[in-house]
Every structure is written in C-alpha cells, then in structure tokens.
Structure 1
Amino acid sequence: MTAQGQVDYDSLHTLVDFHLKQGSDGLVIMGTTGEAATLSLTEQHAALKQVCQQVAGRIPVLVGNGAMSTAEAVEKTRFFADLPIDGYLTVTPFYNKPTQKGMLAHFQAVAAATDKAIFLYNVPGRTGVDLKAETVAELAKVPNIVGIKEATGSLARLAELQALCPADFLLFSGDDASFAEFMLQGGHGVISVTANVAPAAMAAICRAAAQGDAATAKVLDSRLQALHRDLFIESNPIPTKWALLQMGLIQSDFLRLPLTQLEPIYQSTIEQALQQAGIEKQE
C-alpha cells in the first residue's frame, strides 16, 4: 500500500522481482492471511494481472479464492479465470464452522467451477474449523484437487494424510516453525510467511530437506527460528510489512483497517530476528 492506502504497484513489482531472483518456486497472491480481505475484487484482479504479466510463466502463480460462503468462493474462482494463473489456494470457510460434510461439498463445488488446480488450505487457528485427514482423502479423489496447505503444525496430521491420500497428492506445510521437519518426514514443500522476507534461505532449506539432508536443513532452519516466531508477534502481515520496509523492498507499511502498523515496542524484536537470519537491506 502507498502511505495514502492505495495499492502500490511499483512496490509489488519490486517484491515479485525479489522472489524471482531469490529462488522462490512459486507465488501465492491474495492469500488469506495477506491483505486480500481489505481489497475489492477489482483491486485483487488488477494486482494479480500485474503479477502474472511480470512472472510470465517462469514460476507457478496461485491465487487465494476462499470465502465464508460457497457461492462467493465459486464467484471469486470464476472472476480470476481469465488470467494465466496455475491454480487456487482455497481456505476452509471461516467463522461459520461448517461440518466435515459441509466442507466436502464446499470444496467439490469450488473445484467444479474451474479446470485449474486447487490447493486446499487448512488453518484452524484462523478459521475455527479443522479439515480432517479423512475429508482431505475424499477430496483428493477430485481430479483437480491436487494438494493441501496444512497449517496445524502437527506432524501427526502429516502422517495421517500420508496414510490416507494418494502418493502424488501434494502435502505442503503452512507452519514455518515446523516445516523443515514436515519436509524431512516426507512433505513436499511449504507455503510460507517467512519466505516473504527470506526467500533464498527458505528455498535452501527446502532443497536440503527434499534431498533428505537433515543436518543441513536443520542448521539453516535454526537461523530462521526467531523469524518464524516473531513474524507473528502481531497479526500477520503486520510484522512482515514492517520488515519489508526496513529491507527497502516496499515504500510504506500502511495497512487498511482493521489492521494497523507494527507497534513500536515490537520493532526491536523484528530487527533482532532479521539480524539473526542474516537479512540485510536490499540495494
């Protein structure tokens, strides 16, 4: 955002370029815990269009299409259909706490609205509902539901999903603090908050973990543990935007209400986490 609260397309371009150079394997645009909730659909479409043009097929682009209502999620899915995206990240409906049967029907309806890939997103700490492994296994039978971002932070849940889902169903962590071990135990990747500010380091951990190099993955991850923790010292993306401002990657850390800028008392904590991770201002 600009200091006046408008979408800052120059900074968005800078961020995308940063990820392309730093080795990110894909981008999630308008993710649920970003700022999509305070943008209109028209603003979301315009930002996504710029990202797709800039990426130009070099890495996959997913877009968040979740909603409390199935009809709204289907509408959002269709609204982005004209853009050259690779798929959608679809969070469980939030606040209204649907049953497992309701979530099964919800995701089936969203998947039927597109021929593009669907990643499920389970984040009970945000939504108030937990998509159980048995339900995920049933959804994995839908041809274009290809994976899940599992953000419970539970390695036992990973084992359940591995036991119930097909081997080619993609299991991505949504919990930065535990993602390295998640991958070492057979998970396929991570959709990350920390990667917004440390993409090269996160990519290196992913490569080591995917190759089964536990020693390297754990050493690299230990340097980021403070960042994994402290980027949630206030609600995401508040600390992340402040960090990106310090790194010189965005021009303002303005957030639209009800989110507000990082409280000064937490700034030194984020500074220390950035230093521990070896993150410096980008030139």
Structure 2
Amino acid sequence: MLNGSMVALITPMTGSGEVDYASLEKLVEFHIDRGTDAIVSVGTTGESATLSLAEHLAVVKQTIAFAAGRIPVIAGNGGNATAKVIELTQALGQLDVAAMLCVTPYYNKPTQQGLIAHYRAVADSTDIPQILYNVPGRTGVDMLPETVAELALHSKIIGVKEATGDLSRSSRLRQLCPADFLLYSGDDATACEFLLLGGNGVISVANNLVPAEFKAMCDAALAGNATLAHRLDAPLTGLYSELFCEANPIPVKWAVHRMGLINNNHIRLPLTELSDTYHGQLLQAMNKARIEVN
C-alpha cells in the first residue's frame, strides 16, 4: 500500500528551460535520505501542463532510475482529452511506476457521468493502479464523493487525492468507499487533520522543502497521536499558506532554489518566477520552519 508522506516533486530546469537531470537526481536523493514515502513525478507541481509527451516520459523514467527501487514513484497521467490520457497512460505503463495520479479533466467541465466514463476508460487501458485526483480550484470541475465511490468499485482504481481542503469530504469518502480504498490529502493546510480523520497519506507541495519534518508529522497523525502531530505541524503552517501566494509551483520552485537543491529557478511560461513582493514573507515562513537558505 502507498501510504504516508508523499512529495509532489518539482521538475528542475536549466536557465534555457531544459529539464535539469543533475538537479533531479539530487532531489530524489534528498527525499530518500529524509524518509519520504513516495514521489509523485510530473504532476501539477512538476509542470505537467508545459512538458511535452517526450519530456514527461523522460522525467518519469529518469526519476525511476534515480530512485533505483528505494522509493515508489507515482506518475502523473492526467489531461483533458480522454484519448490523449490513454495514450500517456499506456506509455507510462511501460515504465516501472507504482501507480498513476490522474487529475480530473480541466477546462472541459465534464458532468459526473462524464468523469465516470473518462476514468473507467483510462483504468481499462492499463494494468497499473490509478489514483483519482480532485482539485476543483484548478480544474473547474468537482468530482463528488458519490462519483468517487462508484469509481472505487473498479479494480484498477485504488484511491483518490482530495484537494478541496474540505475535511467533511474525508469522512464522506470513507463512509462511501470500500475500506481498502486509499484516501490522500492534496491540501497541506488540512493534511494533519485529514490523516487524523482516517486518511492514508498526503501528496504534498510543502514536502519539497521539509521532507523529514513532514514525514514525522504524517507518521504521528497516522499513529493517532494528535498531540504530537499538531506540535510537529505548527512550525510548517506558514509554508502551507505562503507556498500558494502565487500559483503553484511558482513559490515552491523559488524556495527549493533558495535552499540550493536545484541549480536554477527557471519555470515555463505562462508561469513566471516569483514576484519580488513575496520574497520576504516566503523567507519568513521558511525561517519559522527552520529551513536554511543561501
């Protein structure tokens, strides 16, 4: 089972905008060394929307190679055209991925029946476990708990990443879905409570910066130790808000660069580098979390 503290890993790039594989290897080692439970490669935080198909596959392939079996790698396979998602899914299925994370089709605004048909078609096209991903704030469509419950009956659909920040969703999903269906938080600010309410893990943006600390919080929450989990979570709360002062992954990529973990802060258009206005407050949140910066 894929449980615990998972990182929605950034995709480092050179100054000219190419993927920086030397920095990628460094990031993978950073997370293995600090106990992260799984890596999500080329999700939203990994700039999936602006990578070509060839780049997408290459980044996932290299991440798996760098991990060398020491940590599971989950590949992002979402998109807004079912046929293209199936094409990507089948290509990723040739790699040694532990599972795939499939965001709801964005911009199209499918109905709940459209979502069911989409995810069933994708799951039917592969033998690799699929994780649903609901983030209506970015996609413009909300996959309802009842829809998730229907999809949870598919043998290849093993879990959902719920990124609404609505904690009542976790209880509703647990009530409706099979006992072994995996519930992941995609909202760092409410992740601790999500786990204490019975969630199985967190796919996190902040984990890019504080993997050991985030892992400790997740472990405490999964063990049901609310007092310890809240104490470990408290220094990280500033990060949870400041890492979204501009669209993800703009702030987190800037912060990881300030930590010296990647060689360049390049991010692909239409996103641009973090505005000077936000540098001070993000640095303050990093200082509260005891993160060393260059």
Q: Residue 281 of structure 1: CA displacement?
A: 4.2
| CA distance, structure 2, for counterparts of residue 34 and residue 83 of structure 1 | 18
- 2:268 pairs with 1:256: yes
Percent identity (aligned): 54
1:1-283 alignment to 2 at 5 Å? 1-281=13-293
| CA distance, structure 2, for counterparts of residue 204 and residue 186 of structure 1 | 17
Q: Residue 100 of structure 1: CA displacement?
A: 0.4
* Matched AA of 1:146: I
* Matched AA of 2:106: F
| CA distance, structure 2, for counterparts of residue 173 and residue 128 of structure 1 | 19
| CA distance, structure 2, for counterparts of residue 240 and residue 105 of structure 1 | 34
| CA distance, structure 2, for counterparts of residue 38 and residue 91 of structure 1 | 15
Deviations 1:223-264 (A, max 9, x none): 100000000001111111110111000011011110100111
| CA distance, structure 1, for counterparts of residue 27 and residue 128 of structure 2 | 25
Indicate the SS of the match to 2:204. Answer: coil
Deviations 1:34-73 (A, max 9, x none): 3111111111111111111111222211111111111111
| CA distance, structure 2, for counterparts of residue 70 and residue 35 of structure 1 | 19
Runs of 4+ residues deviating >3 angstroms: none
CA contact (8 A) 1:34 1:236 kept: no
| CA distance, structure 1, for counterparts of residue 148 and residue 48 of structure 2 | 25
CA contact (8 A) 1:205 1:217 kept: yes
* Matched AA of 2:16: Q
CA contact (8 A) 2:45 2:205 kept: no
CA contact (8 A) 2:100 2:128 kept: yes
| CA distance, structure 1, for counterparts of residue 227 and residue 206 of structure 2 | 20
Q: Residue 216 of structure 1: CA displacement?
A: 0.7
Indicate the SS of the match to 2:14. Answer: coil
| CA distance, structure 2, for counterparts of residue 163 and residue 48 of structure 1 | 34
CA contact (8 A) 1:87 1:116 kept: yes
* Matched AA of 2:287: Q
CA contact (8 A) 1:32 1:66 kept: no
CA contact (8 A) 1:241 1:253 kept: yes
- Given the two structures, how large is their TM-score scaled by the length of structure 2? 0.94
| CA distance, structure 1, for counterparts of residue 55 and residue 107 of structure 2 | 24
Aligned length: 282
Q: Residue 82 of structure 1: CA displacement?
A: 1.4
Q: Residue 33 of structure 1: CA displacement?
A: 3.6
Q: Residue 145 of structure 1: CA displacement?
A: 0.4
| CA distance, structure 2, for counterparts of residue 215 and residue 128 of structure 1 | 36
| CA distance, structure 1, for counterparts of residue 58 and residue 183 of structure 2 | 30
Q: Alignment RMSD, CA only?
A: 1.0
Indicate the SS of the match to 1:223. Answer: helix
Task: Point out where structure 1 has 5 or more consecutive residues left out of the alignment.
Answer: none
Task: Point out where structure 2 has 5 or more consecutive residues left out of the alignment.
Answer: 1-12
